[in-house]
A = this chain, B = another copy of it.
Amino acid sequence: MFLFCKSNPYTMGMLPPSPFFILLATLLATSHGFDFDITHQIHPLRPQSGARSTDVPGLSCQSWRFGVETNNIRGWKTVPDKCEGYVGHYMLGQQYRKDSEVVANEAILYAQSLKLAGDGKDIWVFDIDETSLSNLPYYAKHGFGVEPYNATFFNEWVNKGEAPSLPESLRLYNKLLSLGVKIVFITGRPEDQKKVTAKNLQSVGFHTWEKLIHKGSAFSGKTAVVYKSSERKELENGGYRIIGNIGDQWSDLLGTNTGNRTFKLPDPLYYIS
């Protein structure tokens, strides 16, 4: 059981605790694979499994995450300082993977229940960041969402093309392909990252797609809800049927032409409106 794909050795699925885990935290923190120099450890995660919140006076990080995942808390800029440890443990422990697993399971059950036309017009929309590709190696080095977003640093990371897959989303992707559903990626990444994104997707197992849609300059300054709704509308105008839609942000799933059913993956790292 690996949290990430084979091309990146961040194993975080079903792990025995303690020294191995600390080593993994180090690997993640350094973000370039097997680096056994333990002094590189920048985020001293203790071996905790799951999302057991530490008790933060005046703020329950667990409740903050509830608020975020249910779209009650909106427009937030960064993870509360006090919740860095909580979010780190959540992401690196078993709970993030388990939460994603439940979503993929429900999506697969739903997809299997459908009678598909088989005419090549049934599509499933996938977001990319924190849905298909994971930026956890980046965020592990940047305070798990506590640090304000830095476009320069983040783009440097994206342009490496080394993001691992989210394994539960990859499982869903493969199941959908086997059912004859076509995949359309719609991402907020700009068009100049299309080449590196395509290469990254393929290198971790997302080997084919019907369309890979990046955010064009026409949508510059527009919200993700507006941009993604517009792109989905265009897909439907083109005769496609959006049978499913999966993303980590509510802005992937709200607006118009949202698809027959939406699936919300966990993401306590950042908010996109």
A98 with B63: CB separation less than 8 A: yes
Chain B residues near A73: list those with CB within 8 A: 102, 106
Are A99 and B66 closer than 8 Å at their CB atoms? yes
Is A112 part of the binding interface, using a Cβ–Cβ cutoff of 8 Å? no
Q: Indicate whether A157 reaches chain B with its CB closer than 8 angstroms.
A: no
Q: Which residues of B contact A107 (CB under 8 A)?
A: 72
The chain B residue with its CB closest to the CB of A66 is B99
| A43 is an interface residue with CB less than 8 A from chain B | no
- Partner pick for A70 among B53, B69, B74, CB 8 A cutoff: B69
Q: Quick check: A95 and B264 within 8 Å, CB to CB? A: no
How many copies make up the complex?
2
Q: Is the CB of A66 within 8 A of B69?
A: yes
Known A66-B102, A69-B70; contact A60-B95, beta-carbon cutoff 8 A: yes
A73–B52 Cα distance when bound, in Å, is 22
Contacts of A51 in B (CB 8 A): 62
Q: Is there a chain B Cβ closer than 8 Å to A161's Cβ?
A: no
User: For the complex, what is the distance from the CA of A62 to the CA of B95, rounded to whole Å?
Assistant: 8
Range for the number of chain A residues in contact with chain B: 20 to 34
Interface residues of A in 238-271 (CB under 8 A from B): 263-264, 266
Query: CB of A67 within 8 A of chain B?
Result: yes
Known contacts A50-B53, A52-B52, A53-B50; A106 and B72 CB within 8 A of each other: yes
- A102 in contact with B64 given A69-B69, A70-B69 (CB within 8 Å): yes
A50 CB contacts on chain B under 8 angstroms: 52-53, 60, 62
CB distance from A264 to the nearest CB of B (A): 5
A64 CB contacts on chain B under 8 angstroms: 102
Q: How far is the CA of A60 from the CA of B66 in the complex (A)?
A: 16
Q: Is A42 an interface residue (CB 8 A)?
A: no
A101 within 8 A of B: yes
In the complex, are the beta carbons of B67 and A98 less than 8 A apart? no
Against B, the Cβ 8 Å flags (1 = close, 0 = not) of A79-112 are 0000000000000001100110111001100000
Q: What are 18 inter-chain pairs, A to B, with CB distance below 8 A?
A: A50-B53, A50-B60, A60-B94, A60-B99, A60-B102, A62-B98, A63-B95, A63-B101, A66-B69, A66-B99, A66-B102, A67-B99, A67-B102, A67-B103, A69-B70, A70-B70, A71-B264, A73-B102
8 smallest beta-carbon distances between A and B, as pairs: A67-B102, A60-B98, A63-B98, A63-B102, A70-B264, A66-B99, A63-B99, A72-B106
